């Protein structure tokens, strides 16, 4: 969900207004995903290195996250009518107590829902996710829960923060052609990757449909390549 700040600057607004616009675009995109029958959606809401931004912007983002997590869980039509389940993914120890409580509230409020699963990556980085999984492998070996001979790709993958199923499509907005430390492990397994030259708040249903159609056209080739990896 990249480009919120540039979206605001382009309209000569303060950066926080871009983040608010980004939240409302997320709500709209989730409606489209739900209508199209997409069962799992992960969004990169806040990177760990975003803590390097100005204290004022970080504070604004934390306050926005705390209020919107509760709003999403309590008042969102997607949650109330369609049973969306919210999962907050990432290193929560870096968050303030208030944001941690809001994340816990959103998860507890929606934990029994059986609709679309929404993974909100906040704060997250792929390298932190992978290193955390490695630490869990070491801990499980030391505790006798895992044997050395059992350490393989599946053992590590099962301890990642973002659960399966396999990633089908990864989309980055704003025109930047880079991963920015997002879902690196998941992307390497033949995910269909699209970089879209539009700020996140301007991401439209047309952009989404074009991506889905191009993925469908490439689907057979993707499946063939997956089989070759096995």
Catalytic residues: 2, 50
Is the torsion defined by CA of 194, 200, 205, 207 positive or negative? negative
Report DSSP state, residue 92: G
Distance CA 154, CA 50 (A): 30
Q: What is the CA radius of gyration of the chain?
A: 18
Length of the chain measured in residues: 230
Instruction: Kindly state the tokens that stand for 170.
Output: 């990864």
Neighbour count for residue 149 (Cβ, 10 Å): 6
Q: How far is CA 86 from CA 50, 76, 112, 150, in A?
A: 22, 11, 10, 32
| 3-class DSSP assignment, residue 122 | coil
């Amino acid at each position: 969900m990249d480009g919120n700040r540039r979206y605001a600057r382009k309209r000569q607004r303060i950066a926080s207004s871009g983040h608010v616009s980004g939240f409302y675009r997320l709500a709209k995109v989730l409606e489209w995903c739900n209508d199209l029958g997409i069962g799992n959606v992960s969004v990169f809401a806040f990177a760990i290195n975003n803590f390097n931004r100005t204290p004022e912007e970080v504070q604004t983002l934390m306050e926005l996250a705390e209020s919107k997590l509760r709003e999403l869980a309590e008042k969102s039509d997607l949650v109330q009518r369609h049973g969306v389940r919210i999962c907050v993914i990432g290193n929560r120890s870096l968050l303030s107590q208030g944001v941690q409580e809001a994340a816990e509230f959103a998860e507890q409020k929606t934990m029994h829902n059986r609709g679309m699963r929404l993974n909100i990556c906040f704060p997250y980085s792929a390298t932190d996710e992978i290193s955390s999984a490695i630490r869990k492998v070491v801990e499980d070996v030391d505790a006798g829960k895992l044997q050395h001979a059992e350490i393989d790709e599946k053992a590590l993958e099962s301890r990642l923060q973002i659960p399966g199923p396999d990633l089908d499509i990864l989309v980055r907005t704003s025109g930047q052609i880079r991963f920015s430390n997002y879902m690196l492990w998941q992307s390497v397994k033949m995910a269909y990757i699209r970089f879209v030259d539009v700020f996140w708040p301007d991401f439209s249903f047309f952009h989404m449909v074009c991506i889905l159609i191009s993925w469908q056209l490439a689907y057979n080739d993707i499946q063939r390549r997956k089989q070759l990896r096995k």
